[in-house]
Chain A
Amino acid sequence: MSFEYGLYVPGRSIFHRIDPRAKVIWALMVLAFSIYNGNYVMNPIYGGIIYASVLIALISSKPTNFWYRLFGGLSATILFFSLIFWPASAPPGGEPLLTIPVLGWKYTDLALRLALSKAFLVLSPIIAIATIFITSKPGDLFQALVRWKFPYRLAYIPILALRFLPTVIVEIRIITDAQRSRALELEKGSIPSRIRKYVAVFVPLMIRMMKSALELGVALDSKGFGAMKTRTFSRELKWRIYDTLILIMFIALYVITLIVVTRFLAW
């Protein structure tokens, strides 16, 4: 994946067309409902439904393989560790599902509920936030922040980070190649020695970044950034009906499902 637009992956999916402000509100909803479920309701079916909704949002945006691999791996990892470690905090009682005699472990259904809910609590907001970045152009995100009254000089900092992501990736590759050409073997040796070897990559990178920061500052100033209190936007974000409709849809999904699941599927 080239990261040439930061984390943004160009496309024409539904999520691409939604106003970034609506997407941020949606992600906050996902976060709120995930926390509520993960800490109070602890219904893994509900958690799973929220998770499925963010997965569908992500997949419908047609991200690159990088994102599939990243979230596939992340989901598997978090699920795995949740299933192993959360049962230790499980409330007592409940039906034993699995007993491992050697470790004297009893895996109860309450433990499973807990572990799954916690896994979804972590995963859903992360994927929702990633989806915002994948489907929104950095320039639009910037505008969204400024329209929400964030001071634009601060709001542009994350946008610059996105803009320079491909640049930093290339720099790291060049520096690593240069040092490998001096017989630096990063794959060999013990963990501590390998960390020490990375100094040869880290130091030039930091110095380059500091110098670039100065150049960047001068460039921004010469383009009038910060010269005026407010700035205009050439292509204005327009909140449309379907932005409202999508939000209503998600609210309905999360609230109605919550009610149905807690009333009828008490697991």
Chain B
Amino acid sequence: MSTAIKIDDLWVRYRGEEDYVIKGLSLEIEEGEFVLLMGASGCGKTTLCLTIMGIIPRVIKAEVKGNVRVFDLNPLNASPAEIAKYVTIVFQNPEMQLVTTSVYEEIAFPLENFGLPQDEIERRVEEVLEVVGLKGLEDRSPASLSGGQKQALAIASVLALRPKIIILDEPTSQLDPQGTKRVTDLILKLRREFETTILAVEHRVEWAVEHVDRIVVMNDGKIILEGDPKTVFSKEIKPEETGFRPPQVSEIAYNLIRSGVTFPTIPISLNEALDIFRGILDERKTYS
């Protein structure tokens, strides 16, 4: 497995600003990993994503120091065509990412931009429509789709490029429960069927902990916490500092610990919690 993303001592400062938004950040993501990026507003998550894409500094002017590598490419001075082969990005607001007036055209758009031949474009569009579940809606206008469908379409349009890495910046934050499920199912499908490397900024922790390989927590431009979900939640997470809340079962455990209950490990999923809580009560029974 090669390294998909390698960031070394990255510093980013927007033009005209005094403070650095990213302060000496280093991160490595292996191919095929599903990494969750979290943190309070302003911690630099989006800036990091844009820098990995090379959008900073190419489109958004900023001072960038340090090294970024996406596979063997340096996005800071590579062309968009080269970058698109490896990594693509989907943003929070589907509205501003959909640039055409039909579902088919939307998916074909990036492929047309990169000059792919017609038959290749047709093939990939059909394939992607199937994967994201938008088959039959080819002629619909993106404006008429539901939130979840719009976001699925946004993902579809970058998927057609067959990127090795997909970055998702809060893909479900504007969606209702139904839309969220559509998108999270799709993300899992990409992982399962295509082994895509996924870097997602996402606050819906309870869903994520069961599927992600690693969680990276940022604060003020630096990484303050990193590890697999069990490790990250093994110490109490304070929402005010980190910008997200832990899985409720973990929150319950933190409170019980404060009241003197001993835990073998902090549960992060419902099933785990059931086992552990029942276990605690069972043990007590043997003493009474």
Contacts and interface: CB of A to CB of B under 8 A. Distances in A.
Given A2-B144, A139-B101, A215-B96, A232 B59 contact: no
Interface string A217-255: 111111111111011111110000000000000000000
Name A's interface SS: loop
A8 B91 contact: no
Contacts of B104: 234-235
Contacts of A233: 112, 118
Contact of B143 (A4, A159, A215): A4
Given A2-B144, A215-B93, A217-B59, A227 B114 contact: yes
Interface stretch (A33-41, A62-70, A72-80, A162-170): A162-170
Interface string A144-164: 000000000000000110110
A215 B113 contact: no
B37 interface: no
A236 B113 contact: no
Nearest to B88: A222
A5 B113 contact: no
Interface stretch (B4-12, B77-85, B208-216): B77-85
Give chain B's interface residue range (CB within 8 Å of chain A): 35 or more
B55 interface: yes
Given A139-B101, A167-B143, A232-B121, A227 B55 contact: no
B125 interface: yes
A216 interface: yes
Interface in A120-140: 137-139
The CB with the most chain A CB atoms within 10 A, among B99, B139, B144, B158, is that of B99
Contacts of B99: 160, 163, 216, 219-220, 223, 225
A155 to B, nearest CB: 13
A87 interface: no
A162 B101 CA distance: 8
Interface in A180-207: none
A168 to B, nearest CB: 11
The CB with the most chain B CB atoms within 10 A, among A160, A163, A216, is that of A163
The CB with the most chain A CB atoms within 10 A, among B121, B125, B143, is that of B143
Contact of A234 (B80, B112, B161): B112
Interface string A69-93: 0000000000000000000000000
Contact of A221 (B80, B95, B96, B117): B80
Contacts of A160: 99
A159 B106 CA distance: 13
Contacts of B88: 222
Contact of B122 (A215, A218, A234): A234
Nearest to A219: B97
A217 B91 CA distance: 13
Interface string B19-54: 000000000000000000000000000000010010
Given A215-B93, A227-B114, A232-B118, A221 B101 contact: no
Contacts of A225: 99, 109, 113
Contact of B59 (A221, A223, A230): A221
Contacts of A220: 99
Contacts of B101: 4-6, 8, 137-139, 159, 162-163
14 contacts: A4-B101, A137-B102, A139-B102, A163-B100, A218-B50, A221-B80, A222-B80, A222-B158, A225-B99, A226-B113, A231-B113, A232-B111, A232-B115, A232-B118
Interface of A: 2, 4-6, 8, 10, 137-139, 159-160, 162-163, 166-167, 212, 215-228, 230-236
Interface of B: 50, 53, 55, 58-60, 79-81, 84, 88-89, 91, 93, 95-102, 104-105, 108-118, 121-122, 125, 139, 141, 143-144, 157-158, 161
